[in-house]
Structure 1
Amino acid sequence: MVDLRQELLAVFDAEYRDHLRVIRDLLTAGCGTRQALAEIFRRMHSLKGAARAVEIPAVEEIAHDVENRLSTLMERGGTLDDADIATISRALDDIDAIMEPPPPPASVAPPDGAPDGRAAPPATGDGGGEAYVQVPVSRLDALSGAVHDLMGVAERHDRLWERLGDLMRDMRALSHAPQRIQADPVAIFSRMTRRLMAIGRDHELMTGQGDRALQRLGEEVHAISLVPAGTVFGSLAAMARRIAREHGGAQAQVEVRLRGMEVQAERRVMQALRDPVLHLLRNAIVHGHESRAQRLKAGKPEQQTITLTVTLTGVRLQVRVSDDGCGPDLKAIAARAVRQGMIHVDAPLDARQLLARVFEPGFSTRAHVDHLAGRGVGLSIVAEAARALHGTVAMEQGQPCGTVVTLTVPVSQRQRTVLLVENGKRMIGLPGRVIRHLLRVMREDIRMVDGCPFAVLPHPEATGTQPQATDGQAEEELVPIVPLSAFVGEDDVPACLPERSGAVTVAVMEVDGVSCGFAVERMVEVRTLLISDASAVGLDSELVPGIAWPREDRPVFVISPDRLFERWRARKGRGMHFAPAPPPQATPEARRAPLVLVVDDSITTRTLQKTILQAHGFDVMLAVDGEEALMMLLQSSRRVDVVVTDVEMPRMDGFALLAAIHADPRLADIPVVLMTSRDNEEEIRRGLEGGARAYITKQKFDQGELLATIRGLL
């Protein structure tokens, strides 16, 4: 009986959600007709009976009270007024509260049972027991029709094989009676040819019919798995109102507007988004909260408004949570990111890059922790859910106020849109969701910055959104170029930028606000493919989590952009170079300028020193700390002549860099100049004894001294 009850609860879960979704839609539309009133009454009556069947008396009682109210109203021939609508809305919220108690905070273990001693409702996620969806009869009829068409094709296919078998038997009979062929070989051959050609034509026709029948069947099966957004998200409005009361007191009110609840997507996708969307609603209430006086002073309504919008664009589902609260505090976010070591204090980050940091684990700008927020868990859960669904999440400042967070995921967990590119003997799929630009860069247009190739991104159309330099001219946006083969190529093949006809083909991808261009041999096309788990022997399952098999039977290895970017950051451009070109003839080699590596965690100091050195004929490479400098020294295709380094830096300071340089025989003879803001004799002695060739204090910084010191070392 326990199994039967669990099955009934699962069926009731789908039924009550559908009833509440339809009733809410009718209430939102105004339900000013008797037909609408009758529909609400009918659904409440059905809900009451279903609740009685699964023994949930609290839901049965609420439905009974609403049913009585509607019955009295219908007997008088009236329609719903504002008070009736408010009462019914509260009743729907109460039912949601019974069936779906709010999830506990991450730090609190969930209770064993539901509140008030009621039986816990069935889990609606993918784990646990069976989940049920309601399917319209029309959809079942369409599915039945598709199966019938496919069975018809199979029957015709059997008859075709019978005809082919008859032809083969006649041919074998002729092979055993050669005298029959000798009688009239031309006529026999023509007859056999006509029969074979007819079978071929019918087979071609039947193949097309089978493909169309299979496609229709697939579409109908997929359609059955779709559910309206309101089925999953409809109850979140009531939960948001409860969260508002918990945060602001019994009188706190928040208006939650639901848009696009009729949009359909796979139940698994919708259900996987439910908890992340609830986190976003909680975040909007807690972080966007303003007092009544603050809202009135800003010219806003007394009540905070949160809008949950679901849209469908092509094969991508977009869920947007926007509010009219105080909006993100960029200064607080930047300060928190600096304290957690995510960015340098003088790093030039725009609003988009700063807001990408809020999705890092443990990030929160709240000064205190309570049961609603402050632990820095909620938004990282949202980001992780988006990645698990092969989607993205982004936060932006609302206009004119508030915050907007957008989740974008494929409408199907298996179907994904990818850019197919050739990489050696492999066909690679790059997820379309992270592709920002597709470029063909001429070799002479590639910029070399600190020994690494960069591409200039095309500016957007003249919309006023492109960055501006101080002189009023539009700044150039550069992105590094790395060969995709450095990460998914053959181990014994050197990774270099693939060049064809003097140009490099680049797919610029963006992850968490950071862009990088991956050079490929050839772009093929954009396709929507069914992706399966990559379980083939020898595949890197972290970098290549999915594989698809198009009709041409050549596998497509689908790349994880998050893992690709992680490995790109770890390698810092290793193996990036052009294939060697023949030296120009009869041209004397130009005299090479000395190369200076400037190491400082202050972008202002780096820029100043670079400007001074370049103005006096030096080539300059830049590094933000000792760790990056050491990697550049080891990987640079050109030898560094002098290192000028700050002492106090994160990760690896100047003394540690000095020791690492002198410990490596390949680098030990490179002269090192230490620069620091501290004029301390003990530190000066420590640096000189450690092998530094010179020591310059920033308080007494003079560009003439710096130039003279470097020239003296050369």
Structure 2
Amino acid sequence: MPDLRAQLLAAFDIEHREHLESVRRSLAEPGEADLREVFRRLHSLKGAARAVDLEVVEHLAHRLEERLDQVIDDGAGLDAATVDLIHLGLDAIEAQAAAQRDGAPLPDASRALQALGAQVAPPAPVKASGPVEQVEPPTSSSSDRSPEYVRVDAELGERLNEALHHLSSEVQIEAAQVELTQRLRRQADQLERLWRDMRARGGGEGRTSSRAVAFEHALQALTRDLGELARRQSRANWAVGESLAVLREQIDEIALAPAESLLGDLGRMVRDIGRDQGLEVEVRTEGLEVRAERRVLQALREPIIHLLRNAVSHGAETPEARKAAGKSDRLHVTLQARARGGRLEVRIADDGPGPDLARIEAAAIARGLLSPSEGSRRPDEILALAFEPGVSAAKSVDRLSGRGMGLSAVGQSLAALGGSARLRARSPFGAEVILSAPLSAARQTLVAVEAGGALFGVPSFAVRSLLRLRSGELEIVEGVPSARIQIDGSDIVTPVIPLNALLNDAALEPPAPGASAPMVLIHRGERHLLLAVDEIVDVRELTVQDLDDSRIAPGLTLGAAILDEDRPLLVLNPEALIDRWLRNARRLSASALGLAPKETEARQVRTVLVVDDSITTRTLEKSILEAQGYRVLLAVDGVDALNTLRSSDTVIDLVVADIEMPRMDGFSLLQAIKADAGLARLPVILMTSRDDEADVRRGLDLGAEAYITKQKFDQRELLATIGRIL
């Protein structure tokens, strides 16, 4: 498929530039460089080069990866000589990619390879006239293979798709306005009936004053106008909804791409890897006609490449071992994609020996992730640790097997996309990794719930059912409150965890007698978990937007959405919630039995005034603080805060204020507080997105107890600061 190969090479041209730019930015300040991130970039570049048969680039990236691994192991950091060496390798990679893109002869990379310590002679340069390396006939115009066209087209689709999601949100808001108008019309009808009844009881029309008649006529006119307005709004809303549906269908044609377009070449890549390793590999691809957002597929391509390489590396066995196990001579690798419940599910499987649980467990103990004294562990507990940094089941390091970074990078990539990765053993043998990601990164159907005074959204793809259970229906199983429920005709026992406790690592308490609570049953495969919440609010399709400054439980959120006009909610990652439960099950079990340490003294409830013009930020901070037992009051700017401080009957113990706000900013609010004799001793924490040294000094000079920048902010820092002050 020459068109597909040209598209893949164009995608590689974009991808390799991004990796090189990132590494070079890091090398500009070697002392501050995140070496793990540089390593990840080189590892990804190696996999991308392998996918498009750029062997020299792959070889160079592998050597750079090895050199950087030595630097990381030594712990001495990057010296000038190593930085120069890495630049030499990057330049050689860039020259190779440029020649491939332009159809020119590939340059000799032996100097860079030798400098990087290659033990074998580098591959001979391949001329552009060769049929494998040639992208297009030399006579083709540059526009035929222009990567810019592919990229602009993809970005255009994404922008249109985002605009559509925002428009959908506005239409939903308009629908609420229609409901409001119809309610006003009904109220006007009721007023008119009441007026007529009152007039009749007052002695009839003959005794009605002219002013009363005028009032009646005005009321009738208002009723007619409201009725006409309601009808017009209803018709307009219906028409816009119909047009929106057509527009969504047409934009999906642009924004969604078949998986074949970005993953279709990977079967050949796996066969080539097998040949390089002296293995015969049979590859089967299924379901690649499924369509998803292009950016989702692009984000998944790199993790899938890594997992396919792992399937060959970890699945390889001697012919004798395969024969003894009753397997065919060839290693079987499967790449399967399908859409289910608004999600894209990709499975990478092999029929090798399967996950080495003992090796993974030993690696996790060596990394300090497990205690050697914990006793026997469930297989899924151990397999979940394979995605932790530094945990690897590879017996050796080569061009295929990594150093415990690969699966960690896969997990991080999926989490950033709002997805998840799971490793499991296949029956009767083999291993399988299941990747789950949204078909659309923006539009999702959410179950809106309230827990701990805050609103959260749970994506509907993971919600099995909504129900209400009484405490009498719960039982303690392995130290955890659990419920026996029926799913698909079978009884299963499912843990019951308050959502607020899971999000904030709070200790579980035995349920109070006679209490009942609404529950959300979430699932991942056969794993189920009941989340107890305060209220189930709504089920709605909403636009999920990125939230850069997420302040609770990093990794547990997919973003934020707005319910109706002004009710923000955090969108939770249900896969991450289940992972969090699996990681903390032992500790939570102990707490439910009263084995976990508890506070012995009743803590005085302190009140915090949160001042911020962003409703999302206010709500998030309120959720964080209330989860820790603080009482929280809210203000939208400095003026509102001063009014609250001077008029509230509640004793306020602390103010947490943003700096950049309308009417009165945080600095002015701080000055006003310190100038007021009744408020001067009130502690104030300033928060801002600007990490400016002059601003920090100004805030502290004005009397702020602390100054927190949002770029470096996490909830632990805020809570620790408040705890220190109070």
Deviations 1:256-296, CA, capped at 9 Å, x for gaps: 22111211100100010001101111111000002233333
Within 2, Cα distance between the matches of 1:425 and 1:433?
24
SS at match of 1:112: helix
2:442 matched residue in structure 1: 414
1:269 matched residue in structure 2: 296
SS at match of 1:533: coil
Select the residue among 309, 313, 319 that pairs with 1:286.
313
Matches within 5 A, 1:284-683: 284-343=311-370, 344=372, 347-423=375-451, 425-432=453-460, 440-447=468-475, 454-458=481-485, 479=495, 481-482=497-498, 484=500, 502-507=515-520, 518-534=531-547, 546-551=559-564, 553-560=566-573, 562=576, 569=584, 632-635=596-599
Corresponding position: 1:131 with 2:151:
yes
SS at match of 2:53: helix
> Cα distance 1:337–1:291, how it changes in 2: closer, same or farther (>3 A)?
same
Within 1, Cα distance between the matches of 2:227 and 2:461?
47
> Cα distance 1:114–1:264, how it changes in 2: closer, same or farther (>3 A)?
farther
Corresponding position: 1:247 with 2:277:
yes
Within 2, Cα distance between the matches of 1:205 and 1:227?
34
Deviations 1:74-118, CA, capped at 9 Å, x for gaps: xxxxxxxxxxxxxxxxxxx99942599659445466543264972
Matches within 5 A, 1:117-156: 118-120=99-101, 131-133=151-153
Within 2, Cα distance between the matches of 1:500 and 1:210?
51
SS at match of 2:495: strand
Match of 1:332, as an amino acid? R
Deviations 1:557-596, CA, capped at 9 Å, x for gaps: 223564897699599669999xxxxxxxxxxxxxxxxxxx
- How far the C-alpha of 1:487 sits from its partner, in A, is 5.1
Within 2, Cα distance between the matches of 1:196 and 1:420?
32
Within 1, Cα distance between the matches of 2:494 and 2:601?
21
Aligned length: 446
> Cα distance 1:337–1:459, how it changes in 2: closer, same or farther (>3 A)?
farther
Match of 2:93, as an amino acid? D
CA contact (8 A) 2:367 2:390 kept: no
Greater shift in the superposed pair: 230-239 or 544-553: 544-553
> Cα distance 1:102–1:337, how it changes in 2: closer, same or farther (>3 A)?
same
- How far the C-alpha of 1:457 sits from its partner, in A, is 4.7
Within 2, Cα distance between the matches of 1:563 and 1:483?
9
CA-based RMSD: 5.4
Within 2, Cα distance between the matches of 1:336 and 1:205?
64
1:234 matched residue in structure 2: 264
- How far the C-alpha of 1:462 sits from its partner, in A, is 7.6
2:203 matched residue in structure 1: none
Within 1, Cα distance between the matches of 2:308 and 2:54?
20
Match of 1:267, as an amino acid? R
1:97 matched residue in structure 2: 53
CA contact (8 A) 1:362 1:375 kept: yes
Select the residue among 285, 305, 308 that pairs with 1:258.
285
> Cα distance 1:283–1:521, how it changes in 2: closer, same or farther (>3 A)?
same
- How far the C-alpha of 1:324 sits from its partner, in A, is 1.9
- How far the C-alpha of 1:481 sits from its partner, in A, is 3.2
Deviations 1:308-331, CA, capped at 9 Å, x for gaps: 111011310011111222222333
Matches within 5 A, 1:107-256: 107=66, 111-113=92-94, 115=96, 118-120=99-101, 131-133=151-153, 198=228, 200-248=230-278, 252-256=279-283
Within 1, Cα distance between the matches of 2:260 and 2:364?
37
Greater shift in the superposed pair: 332-341 or 221-230: 332-341
Within 2, Cα distance between the matches of 1:456 and 1:327?
33
Matches within 5 A, 1:62-81: none
- Greater C-alpha Rg: 1
1:82 matched residue in structure 2: none
Match of 1:271, as an amino acid? Q
Deviations 1:365-398, CA, capped at 9 Å, x for gaps: 2232122214112211211111111112112222
Within 1, Cα distance between the matches of 2:375 and 2:320?
36
CA contact (8 A) 2:154 2:294 kept: no
CA contact (8 A) 2:341 2:461 kept: no
Match of 2:409, as an amino acid? I
Deviations 1:16-48, CA, capped at 9 Å, x for gaps: 228899xxxxxxxxxxxxxxxxxxxxxxxxx9x
SS at match of 1:421: strand
> Cα distance 1:516–1:312, how it changes in 2: closer, same or farther (>3 A)?
closer
Within 2, Cα distance between the matches of 1:486 and 1:401?
35
Match of 2:237, as an amino acid? T
Identity of aligned residues (%): 29
Match of 2:563, as an amino acid? P
Deviations 1:316-373, CA, capped at 9 Å, x for gaps: 0011111222222333333433444433455332332222222221111223212221
> Cα distance 1:478–1:390, how it changes in 2: closer, same or farther (>3 A)?
same
Within 1, Cα distance between the matches of 2:219 and 2:404?
81
Within 1, Cα distance between the matches of 2:405 and 2:392?
8
SS at match of 1:549: strand
SS at match of 1:484: helix
SS at match of 2:354: coil
Match of 2:350, as an amino acid? D
Within 1, Cα distance between the matches of 2:512 and 2:458?
20
> Cα distance 1:521–1:245, how it changes in 2: closer, same or farther (>3 A)?
same
Within 2, Cα distance between the matches of 1:368 and 1:542?
31
Within 2, Cα distance between the matches of 1:374 and 1:222?
38
> Cα distance 1:500–1:129, how it changes in 2: closer, same or farther (>3 A)?
farther
Within 2, Cα distance between the matches of 1:310 and 1:537?
31
Deviations 1:429-464, CA, capped at 9 Å, x for gaps: 1345666775644223445699x862245476687x
- How far the C-alpha of 1:187 sits from its partner, in A, is 11
CA contact (8 A) 1:15 1:134 kept: no
Match of 2:515, as an amino acid? G
> Cα distance 1:102–1:310, how it changes in 2: closer, same or farther (>3 A)?
farther
- How far the C-alpha of 1:417 sits from its partner, in A, is 3.9
- How far the C-alpha of 1:405 sits from its partner, in A, is 1.2
Within 2, Cα distance between the matches of 1:536 and 1:116?
37
CA contact (8 A) 1:393 1:408 kept: yes
CA contact (8 A) 1:446 1:453 kept: no
> Cα distance 1:433–1:331, how it changes in 2: closer, same or farther (>3 A)?
farther
1:40 matched residue in structure 2: none
- How far the C-alpha of 1:197 sits from its partner, in A, is 5.1
SS at match of 1:262: coil
> Cα distance 1:334–1:513, how it changes in 2: closer, same or farther (>3 A)?
farther
Match of 2:349, as an amino acid? S
Greater shift in the superposed pair: 428-437 or 288-297: 428-437
> Cα distance 1:403–1:535, how it changes in 2: closer, same or farther (>3 A)?
closer
Within 2, Cα distance between the matches of 1:636 and 1:575?
17
CA contact (8 A) 1:483 1:495 kept: no
TM-score (norm. length: structure 2):
0.50
CA contact (8 A) 1:391 1:433 kept: no
CA contact (8 A) 2:494 2:528 kept: no
**Higher helix content, 1 or 2:** 2
